[in-house]
Amino acid sequence: MLAAMTRVVGLTGGIGSGKSSVASLLRALGALLIDADAIVHELQGPGSPLLGEMVREFGPGILDANGALARETLGQIVFADAEKRARLGAIVHPRVAVEMARRLEAARARGVPLVVLDVPLLLEGRAGASGLPYEAVIVVWAPESVQLERQMRRDGRDRDQCLRRIRAQMPLDEKRRLADHVIDNSGSLEDTERQVRALYRQLVAEAPAEVHA
C-alpha cells in the first residue's frame, strides 16, 4: 500500500514527444521525479559493473576513447536489431528497477505528496516499472510527423534512422489509448504548460487511489 500522503503516477511518451519537457514542468511545479533514463546514465558510468557487462555483451567498440559509453554507437547497434535491443534491456532494466524502487521508498518515507516515475517504456513493462506501484499513467503525445521533425532537428540523424527509433517503441497512438491522462504536446509550449499545470493541480488534489503493480 502507498503511504497516505503520497501519490505515485507513471509518465511515458515516445522519442520526440516532449516527455522530458513535461517531466521538467512537473518537477518545477513540485513533483518529485524518479527518472529511469537518468538512473541508467548514473549506473553505466566508466568502470561500473553495468558498463562492464554491456561491454562483455556488445564488445569494446561501444566505449569511447575515455572508457565511457559511446551511446550513439550502442544505439546504432540495438535499434537495428530487436534481439540485441532485448539483450540490452535484460542487462539494464533489472538494475534500474532496484534503484527506482529504492528512491520511491525513500520518497514515501518522507511523505512526498506527488512522485512521478519517468519511464520511457512504462507501458511495455520494461525497466521493472510493472513491479513499481503507480496509480495512473500520463502519456505525452505528439503525432509521428512531429516526433520525426523534433528528433531530426535535435539529434542530427537522418529520416530513416529517426523513424527506426520511433517505430522500435510502442506507437504513441496505442499508448494514448492506454493512458489515464494525456498531454497533447503537438502545439505551443504555452498550451503544453497549461495542460501540465491543470493536471498537476488535479493530481495533488485527489487522494491516492488503488495502484498498479
Q: What is the CATH number of the domain that holds 164?
A: 3.40.50.300
31 belongs to a structural domain:
yes
Q: Which domain holds residue 158?
A: 7-42+100-205
Going by pLDDT thresholds of 50, 70 and 90, the confidence category of residue 136 is very high
Question: For 185-203, what is each residue's pLDDT tens digit?
Answer: 999 999 999 999 999 999 9
Q: Is residue 18 part of a domain?
A: yes
Does any domain span residue 153? yes
Please tell me the predicted confidence (pLDDT) of residue 207: 57
C-alpha of 12 from chain center:
6
What distance in Å separates the CA atoms of residue 7 and residue 108, rounded to the nearest whole number?
Answer: 9
Q: Is residue 65 part of a domain?
A: no
Confidence of residue 67 (pLDDT cuts 50, 70, 90): very high
pLDDT on residue 125: 67
Q: Is the pLDDT of residue 162 over 70?
A: yes
In a domain? residue 32: yes
Whether 24 is in a domain gets the answer yes
Q: CA dist 125 to 9, 39, 194, Å?
A: 15, 17, 29
Q: Name residue 2's amino acid.
A: L
**How many whole angstroms from its chain centre is CA 87?**
18
Grid coordinates belonging to 50: 553495468
Q: Is residue 135 part of a domain?
A: yes
Using CB atoms within 10 Å of the CB of residue 151, give its burial: 0 to 12 exposed, 13 to 18 middle, 19+ buried.
buried
User: What three-state secondary structure class fits 134?
Assistant: strand
Residue 70 within any structural domain of the chain: no
User: Which DSSP string do the residues of 142-205 spell out, in sequence order?
Assistant: --HHHHHHHHHHHH---HHHHHHHHHTSPPHHHHHHH-SEEEE-SS-HHHHHHHHHHHHHHHHH
What's the number of domains the chain is made of?
1
